[in-house]
Structure 1
Amino acid sequence: MGTSERTLPAVPPVGMMFGMPESTGYVQELPQQVDFAKNPLAESHEFKQACAVCFVKTGPGVLDYSYHSEDHKCKKDLLIGRIKHVENPTWKLIRPRPTKNQYMGLYYICKDVANGEECKYPGHCTFAYCQEEIDVWTLERKGFFSRDLLCDPSGSRAKINLTVSKILQEHQGIFLFLCEVCFDHKPRKISKPGICSHQVKQHGFDQNKCLVHLVKNPTLKYSKIRPYSSQCQLDVCRHAVRYGCQREDYCFFAHSFVELQVWMMQREQGITHEAIVQEAKKFWNIEHSSREQELHAVLKKFGPPNLKMQFVCGQCWRNGQLTEPDKYKKYCSAKARHLWSKDRRVVLVSSVERRKWTEVRPLPTRKPAPAQFEICLHVAAGKKCQYIGNCTFAHSMEEKDLWTYMKDNNIADMEQLYENWLQSQKPGNSEESSSTAKENGKQIHMPTDYAEEVAGNHCWLCGKNCNSDKQWQQHITSEKHKDRMFNSEDDQNGWQYRFPTGVFKVCERFRKGMCPDGEKCTMAHGEEELKEWMDRREFLLMKLAKARNDHLIAPNDNDFGKYSFLLKDIK
Structure 2
Amino acid sequence: MCYVRTGPRVLDYTFHTEEHKCKKDALLGRIKHSPDKSWKLIRPRPTKTQYVGPYYICKEVAVGKECLYPGHCTFAYCQEEIDVWTLERKGFISRELLFDPYGPNSNIRLSVPKILQEHRGIFMFLCGVCFDHKPRIISKTNKDHPSYCSHPVTEHVFEDHKCMVHVLKEITVRYSKIRPLILHCQLDLCRHEVRYGCVREDECFYAHSLIELKVWMMQHELGITHQSIVQEAKQFWNTTASLQGVQLSNTQRRFGPPNLKMIFVCGQCWRNGQMSEADKNKKYCSAKARHTWAKDRRVVLVSSHERKKWTTVRALPTKKPIPSQFEICIHVTSGKKCQYFGNCTFAHSVEERDLWTYMKENNIPDMDQLHEQWLQSQKPGWGDETSDNSVRENGKQIHMPTDYAEEVAGNHCWLCGKNCNSEKQWQQHITSEKHKDRVFNSEDDQNCWQYRFPTGTFKVCERFLKDTCTEDDHCKLAHGEQELKEWTERREFLLMKLAKAKKDHLIAPNDNDFGKYSFLLKDIK
Give the TM-score band, short-chain normalised: 0.5 to 0.7
Q: In structure 2, what is the equivalent of residue 352 of structure 1? A: none
Unaligned runs of at least 5 residues, structure 1: 1-44, 49-54, 67-78, 84-89, 101-107, 154-158, 300-327, 332-414
| Number of aligned residues | 374
Q: In structure 1, what is the equivalent of residue 96 of structure 2? A: 140
* Aligned equivalents of 1:570, 1:451: Cα separation in 2: 49
1:42-441 map, 5 Å: 62-63=10-11, 95-96=43-44, 122-123=73-74, 125=76, 129=81, 139-142=95-98, 144-145=100-101, 160-192=108-140, 196-291=149-244, 420-421=375-376, 423=378, 435-441=389-395
Q: SS of the residue aligned with 1:221?
A: strand
When the two structures are superposed, what TM-score results if normalisation uses the length of structure 2?
Answer: 0.60
Deviation string 1:289-315 (CA, Å, 9 cap, x unpaired) is 35469989x99xxxxxxxxxxxxxxxx
Deviation at 1:454, TM superposition (A): 3.0
Residues 167 and 416 of structure 1: CA distance in aligned 2, closer, same or farther (over 3 Å): closer
Letter paired with 1:188: R
Deviation at 1:440, TM superposition (A): 2.5
Letter paired with 2:113: S
Q: In structure 1, what is the equivalent of residue 424 of structure 2? A: 470
Residues 283 and 58 of structure 1: CA distance in aligned 2, closer, same or farther (over 3 Å): farther
1:554 maps onto 2:505 in alignment: no
Residues 247 and 115 of structure 1: CA distance in aligned 2, closer, same or farther (over 3 Å): farther
Q: SS of the residue aligned with 2:478?
A: coil
Residues 478 and 212 of structure 1: CA distance in aligned 2, closer, same or farther (over 3 Å): same
1:455 maps onto 2:409 in alignment: yes
- Contact 1:80–1:91 (CA under 8 A) maintained in structure 2: no
Query: Kindly, what percent of the aligned residue pairs are identical?
Result: 60
Deviation at 1:466, TM superposition (A): 1.1
* Aligned equivalents of 1:132, 1:249: Cα separation in 2: 28
Structure 1 range deviating more: 491-500 or 167-176: 491-500
- Contact 1:81–1:93 (CA under 8 A) maintained in structure 2: yes
- Contact 1:435–1:448 (CA under 8 A) maintained in structure 2: no
* Aligned equivalents of 1:529, 1:99: Cα separation in 2: 37
Deviation at 1:161, TM superposition (A): 1.2
* Aligned equivalents of 2:513, 2:479: Cα separation in 1: 27
Q: SS of the residue aligned with 1:192?
A: coil
* Aligned equivalents of 1:461, 1:119: Cα separation in 2: 40
- Contact 1:436–1:444 (CA under 8 A) maintained in structure 2: yes
Deviation at 1:167, TM superposition (A): 0.6
* Aligned equivalents of 1:486, 1:119: Cα separation in 2: 39
Letter paired with 1:164: V
- Contact 1:231–1:252 (CA under 8 A) maintained in structure 2: yes
Letter paired with 1:172: R
Deviation at 1:519, TM superposition (A): 1.4
* Aligned equivalents of 1:111, 1:564: Cα separation in 2: 40
* Aligned equivalents of 1:190, 1:465: Cα separation in 2: 8
* Aligned equivalents of 1:543, 1:132: Cα separation in 2: 23
Indicate the RMSD between aligned Cα atoms, in angstroms: 4.7
1:483-498 map, 5 Å: 483-491=437-445, 493-498=447-452
Residues 109 and 146 of structure 1: CA distance in aligned 2, closer, same or farther (over 3 Å): farther
* Aligned equivalents of 2:316, 2:152: Cα separation in 1: 38
- Contact 2:101–2:108 (CA under 8 A) maintained in structure 1: no
- Contact 2:40–2:80 (CA under 8 A) maintained in structure 1: no
* Aligned equivalents of 2:505, 2:400: Cα separation in 1: 31
Residues 538 and 114 of structure 1: CA distance in aligned 2, closer, same or farther (over 3 Å): farther
- Contact 1:99–1:170 (CA under 8 A) maintained in structure 2: no
* Aligned equivalents of 1:460, 1:123: Cα separation in 2: 33
Q: In structure 1, what is the equivalent of residue 351 of structure 2? A: none
Deviation string 1:7-65 (CA, Å, 9 cap, x unpaired) is xxxxxxxxxxxxxxxxxxxxxxxxxxxxxxxxxxxxxx7599xxxxxx9x996x54469
Asked which structure has the greater RCO (Cα within 8 Å, sep 6+), the reply is 1
Residues 124 and 257 of structure 1: CA distance in aligned 2, closer, same or farther (over 3 Å): farther
* Aligned equivalents of 2:137, 2:188: Cα separation in 1: 28
Residues 109 and 237 of structure 1: CA distance in aligned 2, closer, same or farther (over 3 Å): farther
Q: SS of the residue aligned with 1:498?
A: coil
Deviation at 1:252, TM superposition (A): 0.4
Residues 227 and 257 of structure 1: CA distance in aligned 2, closer, same or farther (over 3 Å): same
Q: In structure 2, what is the equivalent of residue 539 of structure 1? A: 493
Q: In structure 1, what is the equivalent of residue 35 of structure 2? A: none
Residues 482 and 280 of structure 1: CA distance in aligned 2, closer, same or farther (over 3 Å): same
Q: SS of the residue aligned with 1:451?
A: coil
* Aligned equivalents of 2:7, 2:385: Cα separation in 1: 42
- Contact 1:429–1:437 (CA under 8 A) maintained in structure 2: no
Deviation at 1:421, TM superposition (A): 3.8
Letter paired with 1:256: S
* Aligned equivalents of 2:497, 2:180: Cα separation in 1: 26
* Aligned equivalents of 2:439, 2:388: Cα separation in 1: 30
Q: In structure 2, what is the equivalent of residue 309 of structure 1? A: none
Deviation at 1:216, TM superposition (A): 1.6
